[in-house]
Amino acid sequence: MAIMALNPLARVPKPHLHFSLSIPHRSSSSSSFSPQSILNPSRRRRAASFMASASLYHKELAAAKKAASLAARLCQTVQKAILVSDVQSKADKSPVTVADYGSQAVVSLVLKMELPSESFSLVAEEDSGDLCNDGGQDTLKRITKLVNDTLSMDGTYNITVSEEDVLAAIDSGKSEGGPSGQHWVLDPIDGTKGFLRGDQYAIALALLDEGKVVLGVLACPNLPLGSIGNPDKDASQNQTGCLFSAKIGCGTDMQLLNGSTPNRIHVTTIENPADASIFESYEAAHSQHDLSSSIAQKLGVRAPPVRIDSQAKYGALARGDGAIYLRFPRPGYREKIWDHAAGCIVVSGGVATDAAGNDLDFSKGRYLDLDTGIVVTNKKLMPSLLNAVQDALKEKIQNAALL
């Protein structure tokens, strides 16, 4: 049991409630003694709410950690020796690899096996369309082998899946999500371009309940255990592979992907914007870097921006590696919920809004409807950040009108 608690790949444990109350001494002659009977009503309500939040989504979070950790193993196997034939281009010209498909199949299969009694709805990035076209057969064979090898590595599943099972698992991600019921939200590899470069990427999995993100997991196989904003000498830089997990109202934990005790992490507490460091996309096509520079200048930020692929940015922010994440796609780009759902809850002590300061709304289906961009920081810095964002946006429009 001790080992299971440390390893995200262990069988999903039953909820354990560590719940202690100070109970006044009662004479042993009392026959009707019970802790509940001696609590006053308000303490009883608080105790009940504590017990409810501790057990709420407990088994779902454990299943999500296990699914994302196994998917991360598949991705690491592929990244170590990627073949030219492992990479394809989607209709929108973005890359997709056997690892994106394999990761999606593994997460879908593991969630269904770990939570057999729950109804299953998954909103995920990939679909099997291109694998069913002419020429997709060899790729599908390779993905199926990767999925079976990964499931058998775990040692707790005694199954072999067929190519049809893999196609069905991938296509179970076609749900539209929405404001009612529960929906899993998955980006099987967020940052596919980073994955192909050998840089950062993340397996990002979240659960929506009645339109709200209630838990999230980010597996970041290439993220160092030590800070990326401020890499220093300490030995933790040599260890890579982080698993972030968060449950609504319960804070965020981080542990090593290959198993370690989860540690509670916190966003930075800095209040002076000049001390902030800013994270943004590595890919200039994904976010307007000139807008970030203009915002940094207005805030007086001294450090140069840190450019990282994927929702690893949210994970790094959640543990205080940096203070601000800025994302400004070109006009017309529509953000998808799987690119932000897990990240937003993982950065639990911070705030994520659009450029106008509105909360991100994950209840509208597969897309996020936003005003202009996404900004993330701690609660103290948000007001000055939003002012700087508005000024920079106005300035950019005025400058464009002058040209």
Known catalytic residue: 139? no
**Residue with smaller CB distance to ligand A3P, 97 or 268:** 97
Known catalytic residue: 192? yes
Q: Cβ 339 to ligand A3P, closest distance in Å?
A: 5
Which of 139, 144, 150, 192 is the catalytic position?
Answer: 192
Partner touching 37 among ligand A3P, Mg ion, none, CB below 5 to 8 Å by kind: none
Partner touching 6 among Mg ion, ligand A3P, none, CB below 5 to 8 Å by kind: none
Rounded CA-CA distance 345/347 in Å is: 5
**Residue with smaller CB distance to ligand A3P, 103 or 139:** 103
Task: Let me know: does 295 contact 326? Beta carbons within 8 Å.
Answer: yes
The continuous run of DSSP H or E covering 244 comes out as strand 240-247
Our finding on whether 125 is near Mg ion (CB under 5 A) is yes
**Residue with smaller CB distance to ligand A3P, 154 or 283:** 283
Tokens at 302, concatenated: 């001294």
Q: Cβ 94 to Mg ion, closest distance in Å?
A: 5
Q: What amino acid is encoded at 25 in this protein?
A: H
Q: What amino acid is encoded at 228 in this protein?
A: I
Closest alpha carbon to 187 in 68, 66, 353, 334: 68
DSSP lists the bridge partners of residue 206 as: 185, 216
Which of 100, 171, 187, 190 is the catalytic position?
Answer: 100
Partner touching 329 among Mg ion, ligand A3P, none, CB below 5 to 8 Å by kind: ligand A3P
Q: Cβ 95 to Mg ion, closest distance in Å?
A: 7
Residue facing ligand A3P at closest CB distance: 281
Tokens at 239, concatenated: 């260890």
| DSSP result, 166-200 | HHHHHHTTB----SSSEEEEEEEEE-HHHHHHTS-
Tokens at 141, concatenated: 């064979």
With H, G, I as helix, E, B as strand and everything else as coil, classify residue 85: helix
Q: CB under 5 A: which stretch of 6-14, 22-30, 184-192, 352-360 binds Mg ion? A: 184-192
The continuous run of DSSP H or E covering 379 comes out as none
Which residue in 86, 114, 309, 339 binds Mg ion (CB under 5 A)? 339
Question: Which residues ranging from 92 to 111 are in contact with Mg ion (CB under 5 A)?
Answer: 94
Rounded CA-CA distance 181/258 in Å is: 33
The separation between the first and the last C-alpha atoms of the chain, rounded to the nearest angstrom, is 67
What is the dihedral angle through the alpha carbons of 143, 145, 148, 153, rounded to the nearest 10 degrees?
Answer: -110
DSSP lists the bridge partners of residue 113 as: none
Our finding on whether 309 is near Mg ion (CB under 5 A) is no
Under the rule (CB under 6 A), what is the footprint of ligand A3P? 94, 125, 187, 189-192, 194, 281, 283, 285-286, 309-310, 329, 333, 336, 339
Our finding on whether 187 is near Mg ion (CB under 5 A) is yes
User: In the complex, which residues of this chain contact Mg ion (CB under 5 A)?
Assistant: 94, 125, 187, 189-190, 192, 339
Active-site residues, by number, are: 100, 192
